[in-house]
Amino acid sequence: MKPCPSARQRGVFTIFSTLAAVTMLLFVGLVVDTGRMMVMHGELQSAADACALAAAAELNNSADGTASARAALAGKQLVANWARQNFQSDAIAQAEVEIQLATAPKGSFSTAGTANARVAQCRITPSGLSTILMQLAGIGELTPQAVARAGLVPGGRVCALPLALRKQSYTIGQVLDLVTYLRVAEFGGGALKDDASYVDQVAKWGSCMVNTTPRTIIIGSLPSLVATALDARYTNDPEVGSAPGTTPRRVLAVPLVNIADNKMDRQWACLELTGNGLFKFLGYANDGTLVPPAATKPWCVASGQPLGIHKVSTITYSNGPFVPALLK
């Protein structure tokens, strides 16, 4: 017969079992809470990426000096209205978002911004994440954080309104008539679409993934309905309403086209809608006139991917139109 364990031995086994159970519980708690932290950090990083891109898209060096303020507001509003955290159960408050701006990726970042800022940094630091089982080890809260930077880079493919500017000699600051100088453009190839299709594009983003390299496109005269839609784009600006302001919705990157052969040049023009059937010529986006720009010249910032790349390592300012891209 096997001898029965003594009371002392049973006590030792109990202590070891308890310690093993506590250790296992702490280990499980570490796995559970760390997993939650990783999921939450992924949510925050996605929000920070979108925030930085939204802020950078506003950095058009506007003549009215509002680009920095708009960048901070756009980034924070996007996070507050769109992003969620903690397994998509909680909103992120604007107070938990900090946006700083700089003129270069390794420049001096400031919440005040500068007139010629080209890089936006978004930092999201929500209130601490309460732990579940790690509290047994005295760790009651974890503090996740996410940071992203985005800058303006030359866009190889952009979102552009269905417009082209007739190539001829222009003077910077010249105010021109929409119908006389602009043409409706079909970037996708084939015949021109109906007027309503272009009116819809003018109200939204236009055509995306438009290649900025020279090629042949289809153009036609600017329909009155499209001209009216461009005036509506000016007066219905979501940021300033009908008040003056060189917002991204009003400053457009438009390709120049030789009327004789519908050949889209390498050059793109920078135009500003002014309402009442008129626009202002701000210069050429990629011939050096706007790089670097004078303080009163906005950059042409379009939506889209820089050469089809989502993240870039460096920023070059040699040509445009520019698009926001995440920085590695």
Q: Which pLDDT tens digit goes with each residue over 25-76?
A: 555 555 566 666 777 778 888 889 999 999 999 998 887 888 899 999 998 8
Most confident of 67-71, 231-235, 251-255: 231-235
Asked whether residue 1 is assigned to any structural domain, the reply reads: no
The pLDDT, as a whole number, for residue 202 is 95
313 within domain boundaries: yes
| Domain finish residue from 90, 118, 153 | 153
Q: Does residue 83 surpass a pLDDT of 90? A: no
Average pLDDT on 106-131 reads 83
Tell me the pTM: 0.80
Return the amino acid letter for 284: Y
Asked if residue 41 and residue 88 are part of one domain, the reply reads yes
**How large is the angle between the packed helices 7-56 and 67-82, nearest 10 degrees?**
140
Q: Count how many domains the chain has.
A: 2
Q: Are residues 77 and 217 in the same domain?
A: no
For residue 288, give its domain range: 157-323
Mean pLDDT, range 149-159, rounded to an integer: 87
What lies within 8 Å, CB to CB, of 174 at 6+ separation is 280, 281
First to last CA, the chain: 71
- What pLDDT was estimated at residue 215? 81
CB 95 within 8 A of CB 79: no
Give the other-Cβ count within 10 Å of 206's Cβ: 21
Choosing from 121, 153, 185, the residue where a domain stops is 153
Which CA distances in Å does 207 have to 81, 99, 132, 162, 251? 26, 30, 49, 7, 16
Q: Is the separation of the CB atoms in 325 and 307 below 8 Å?
A: no
Clarify whether residues 194 and 133 are in a common domain: no
